[in-house]
A and B are shown apart, each in its own frame.
Chain A
Amino acid sequence: MMRILVVDDDKELCDLLKEFLGEEGFSLQCCHTGDEGLEKALQEDFKLIILDVMLPGLNGFDFLRSLRPKSAVPVIMLTARGEEVDKVVGLELGADDYLAKPFSPRELLARIRAVSRRTTQGRNLNNSGDSLKVGDLEIHMAGRTLYRGKERIHLTEIEFQILEILLRSAGLTVNRQDLAQQALGHRLSFDDRSLDVHISNIRRKIGSKMGETERIRTIRGVGYLYAALDE
């Protein structure tokens, strides 16, 4: 049973989701305020958090801001429809994915599966003890950890996933849509900035340049390329 935490002030919706996702094999815990949710998220071990942005008390953004330094657990954010800003801010604060509310439950299920697949993938690789070194970066699949030289850099699950894909094709251009399909589990519409936000988060964390070389280069209209190959 995969444990999921839902933080949403709509109690009836939580009950319905509990029933719906329960049948799909997920075990749901519900919290109706941000503070309560944050406490629970930090105490217990959840595989995924579904977080509504509009919460009484501690709102979704504050929740993420407090959660991220302490936990890399995947977060799917529920944003108000049409509020572009919410999505970008949420992703910048370290959410893995977002879904506009009202959402199709099947869509939610697909997103949850995509995230859980990534996590299981991570688990499996965990056993293989695989690691990958490109330039000064080294990733260990085992602990889902990233080192730049000796320094450990904390990435969220989704960021790790994206960087891993880029590093595995280092020196080659990775198509935007392929990258989104593999990492996020869905295609991007033209106005979907989530991939760009994740990439800019990664750039910020690993440093945008290695010496004079730009690490992740944007190939306009195509995709991204990891270019910092040699030390």
Chain B
Amino acid sequence: MPLSMNDLSRKNILPLIRLPGLKLFGRIFLCFWTTVLLVLIVAVFVTYFLQVGPFNRRIYQVEKDFIRSRGQMLVEIYDHLDPGKVGLLGQVFGSRFFWLFSLKGEILLKSQRPPNWPTPEHEKLDRSDEMANLEGQIASAVPNFALKKEDEEVLIFNDHEFLFQKVIVESGNTYIVVNGMPPMRSLLRFLENPSILPILTGFFFITGIFCWWLAHSMAAPVIGIREMSRRFAGGDLQARISAELTDRFDEFGDLAKDFNDMASKIESMMKRQKSLLHDISHELRSPLARMQVALELARKKKNEDNQGLLDRIGLEADRLEKMLQEVLTLFRLEDDKMTREKETIDLGELVEAIIADARFEANQNSERITWRQHSQDPVKVSVVANAVGRAIENVIRNALKYSPSQSVIEVVLTETERSDGGTATVLVSDRGPGIPEEKLPHLFEPFFRCEEDRSSSSGGVGLGLAITRRSIEMNGGRVTARNRDNGGLTVELSLPRVN
């Protein structure tokens, strides 16, 4: 398919301008540069039209006057002169082209260049052919001019101007003098100067540098502020704009300071909120512990009527406990201090231990979980082992919980090779109901529920997968989920490998 100009520009030029960061920079740069260049052009033309132009015209006029009186003088002298001495006159006035015609158009006299005179630039006419041709043209125009009322006229032949004059001398004879005029100077003659190209290039280059610097100095703070606001929005509450920017004495400096103020306020607000939630979760444990003991005591009273209700209270207490546990786990994962506990472990061994655990809990039914590792070598990862272990465990538990009891859960460990280690990926696939596509992105959010099953028998509190994501991300990995072709869900946990 042929590309039209339009396609090309859309494909190649627009993305360049729309590149993040280049947008503002490019716009400012182009604006300033265009302005500077336009100013240059306008300045040059104004100067020429207002100054050089009139000046040129005046010179032209003076020359014309001079040529006119010269022509008159020539005719006066010719008329008075002996016909024998006329030849010398051609040389005396020979510094310029001229022809003296009778009214009928016969050449009476023409300029003869003195032998040792240099030829002026603008009169470099070919002496033979072109001259003869020109002379013919002029001669044929003379009778025409003779009939006209005007005493003089400027006619152009071969791009050269010639002044035609009717001169009536005292004796009553009328002659026609044709004089070559110097050419009017072109306004753009300066462009023909060979040194103009390096000068213009230099000008483009220097203004380019200045405009680039200006655009950069305006766009850079915006880019810097934007980057920080993105990091802040991405959850890095400690993101602050550097002093280099906040110390500026302009609006950018003010904006940067305001941003930092806002960020500090939000950060401390978030911290207060978090510590409040953390404290509440912490404090709730004491009454819960007492409640659980009291519940056991109540169970022993052997009141058959209440056993069902007590079981129910027990179930809810367990749920509450689990929720508290998970909330506190999530809090702990938010704490970056944990990453100090990183150690290098064999991911395969960890997954195997978790599966052994899960099989044990699934009543020794080892058929339910299949386990495959692609390579025999240890898959080394540098992680907080407990956190990653819990992440994987939660995913496997989820799979067990949401898939039919006879279906098989596949756990696979694969790895990609790269010089810097590559990634190790644990895939957990089940044959459960899967997740509606539109809800997939929310799967790893806290308290996400697929169906409206708040009171479900599943028993989870909805923090398991949030813990999974946080644990994996804390260790520099990524978690994704996708539906399988024939029903079910695959959760993919990838972690950077180390050598």
Inter-subunit contact B349/A221 (CB<8 Å): yes
A70 within 8 A of B: no
B293 within 8 A of A: yes
Q: Quick one: CB contact mask for B282-312 with A, threshold 8 Å, 1 for yes?
A: 1001101110111111001000000000000
Q: B352's closest neighbor in chain A, by CB?
A: A221
Q: Quick one: CB contact mask for B97-134 with A, threshold 8 Å, 1 for yes?
A: 00000000000000000000000000000000000000
Inter-subunit contact A17/B293 (CB<8 Å): yes
Given known contacts A102-B321, A104-B292, A19 and B297 CB-to-CB distance under 8 angstroms: yes
Inter-subunit contact B290/A12 (CB<8 Å): yes
Give the CA-CA distance A103 to B360 in the complex, in Å: 22
Chain B contact residues: helix, strand, loop or mixed: helix
A16 within 8 A of B: yes
Give the CA-CA distance A31 to B300 in the complex, in Å: 26
Chain-A contact segment, one of B151-159, B323-331, B444-452: B323-331
Inter-subunit contact B296/A20 (CB<8 Å): yes
Q: Quick one: CB contact mask for B339-364 with A, threshold 8 Å, 1 for yes?
A: 00000000001101110110010000
Task: Name the B residues within 8 Å of A117 (CB-CB).
Answer: none
Residues of A127-179 contacting chain B, CB below 8 A: none
User: Nearest Cβ distance between residue A106 and chain B, in whole angstroms?
Assistant: 7
Q: B392's closest neighbor in chain A, by CB?
A: A190
Inter-subunit contact A220/B349 (CB<8 Å): yes
Give the CA-CA distance A17 to B292 in the complex, in Å: 10
B26 within 8 A of A: no
User: Nearest Cβ distance between residue A140 and chain B, in whole angstroms?
Assistant: 36
Task: Name the B residues within 8 Å of A190 (CB-CB).
Answer: 350, 353-354, 356-357, 389, 393
User: Nearest Cβ distance between residue A189 and chain B, in whole angstroms?
Assistant: 6
Q: B317's closest neighbor in chain A, by CB?
A: A102
Give the CA-CA distance A125 to B113 in the complex, in Å: 145
Inter-subunit contact B289/A101 (CB<8 Å): yes
The winner among A17, A23, A102, A189 for most chain B CB atoms within 10 A is A102
Inter-subunit contact B357/A81 (CB<8 Å): no
Inter-subunit contact B297/A20 (CB<8 Å): yes
Give the CA-CA distance A80 to B324 in the complex, in Å: 11
User: Nearest Cβ distance between residue B298 and chain A, in whole angstroms?
Assistant: 10
Q: Quick one: CB contact mask for A1-38 with B, threshold 8 Å, 1 for yes?
A: 00000000010110011011001000000000000000
A84 within 8 A of B: yes
Give the CA-CA distance A13 to B294 in the complex, in Å: 9
Residues of B60-87 contacting chain A, CB below 8 A: none
Inter-subunit contact B289/A187 (CB<8 Å): no
Q: B332's closest neighbor in chain A, by CB?
A: A82
Inter-subunit contact A10/B289 (CB<8 Å): yes
Give the CA-CA distance A105 to B298 in the complex, in Å: 12
- New A-B contacts (10) at CB < 8 Å, excluding given A16-B290, A190-B389, A191-B386: A10-B289, A80-B285, A82-B332, A84-B386, A101-B285, A102-B286, A102-B324, A103-B292, A189-B357, A190-B393
Residues of B within 8 A of A (CB): 282, 285-286, 288-290, 292-297, 300, 318, 321, 324-325, 328-329, 331-332, 349-350, 352-354, 356-357, 360, 385-386, 389-390, 393
Residues of A within 8 A of B (CB): 10, 12-13, 16-17, 19-20, 23, 80-84, 100-106, 187, 189-191, 220-221
